[in-house]
């Protein structure tokens, strides 16, 4: 072999040797440490409603008069333990569902709700929320393993019946309908 060929082979071997790890370049690993991860997903029920207000144009002594818009309520939940979940609409006081601020009131018995296109019912029930005789149960649903997490939509069409109040003075009447769900 000539001198040039020997030098090329030597340089090639030298290049290969420099790529091999030496004692100073040996890989060293530490011990493995485990970390336990714990997480809790809390139970919850959430309610949203499609509109913040329902408006009525009323005439004393007439009714029922429909309000607009019809509300769409969306309930979302994640529950365990097989509870029954219910949604209630209620007023704080049965005698004053709506008031004009001057002592004139529309009672909750004159406010009607039609759930999902069904028959209208007055807000005269007593539930877990609101005043006695000022509520309406919108639905009740048993939660099972397949329905432990879910979403449902319901509609509520509101109307006010003033046939029992022919002498109701004109004015601006306001009230607050609370929508709240419970699982027990």
On whether residue 12 sits in a domain, the answer given is: no
Q: Which residues, 6+ apart, have CB-to-CB distance to 154 below 8 Å?
A: 72, 73, 75, 87, 115, 116, 138, 139
Residue indicated by tokens 């009525």: 56
On whether residue 27 sits in a domain, the answer given is: no
CB atoms within 10 A of CB 119: 8
Domain, as residue range, for 68: 44-183
Residue-level pLDDT at 111: 98
Q: Is 0.95 topped by the overall pTM?
A: no
How many structural domains comprise the chain?
1
On whether residue 129 sits in a domain, the answer given is: yes
DSSP code at position 163: T
Residue 122's SS3 state is strand
Q: Of 101, 100, 98, 103, give the one whose Cα is nearest residue 175.
A: 98
pLDDT tens digits for 150-171? 999 999 999 999 999 999 999 9
CA distance 137 to 142: 14
On whether residue 18 sits in a domain, the answer given is: no
Please report, for the domain that includes residue 118, its CATH number. Answer: 2.60.40
Residue-level pLDDT at 4: 75
On whether residue 137 sits in a domain, the answer given is: yes
On whether residue 50 sits in a domain, the answer given is: yes
User: 94: burial class by Cβ within 10 Å (0-12, 13-18, 19+)?
Assistant: buried
**Residues in the chain, pLDDT under 70:** 1, 7, 11-25
Q: Of 159, 150, 178, 149, give the one whose Cα is nearest residue 67.
A: 159
Q: Of 181, 162, 159, give the one whose Cα is nearest residue 171.
A: 162
On whether residue 148 sits in a domain, the answer given is: yes
Residue 98's SS3 state is strand
Residue-level pLDDT at 140: 97
On whether residue 31 sits in a domain, the answer given is: no
């Amino acid at each position: 072999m000539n001198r040039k060929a020997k030098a090329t082979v030597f340089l090639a071997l030298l290049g290969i040797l420099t790529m091999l790890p030496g004692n100073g370049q040996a890989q060293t690993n530490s011990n493995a440490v485990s970390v336990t991860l714990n997480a809790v997903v809390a139970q919850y029920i959430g309610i949203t409603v499609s509109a913040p207000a329902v408006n009525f144009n009323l005439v004393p002594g007439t009714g029922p008069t429909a309000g607009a818009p019809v509300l769409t309520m969306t309930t979302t939940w994640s529950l365990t333990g097989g509870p029954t979940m219910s949604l209630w609409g209620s007023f704080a006081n049965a005698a004053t569902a709506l008031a004009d601020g001057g002592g004139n009131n529309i009672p909750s018995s004159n406010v009607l709700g039609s759930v999902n296109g069904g028959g209208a019912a007055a807000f005269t029930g007593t539930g877990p929320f609101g005043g006695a005789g000022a509520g309406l149960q919108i639905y009740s649903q048993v939660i099972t393993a397949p329905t432990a997490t879910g979403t449902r939509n319901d509609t509520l069409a509101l109307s006010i019946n003033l046939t029992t109040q022919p002498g109701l003075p004109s004015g601006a009447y306001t009230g607050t309908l609370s929508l709240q769900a419970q699982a027990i």
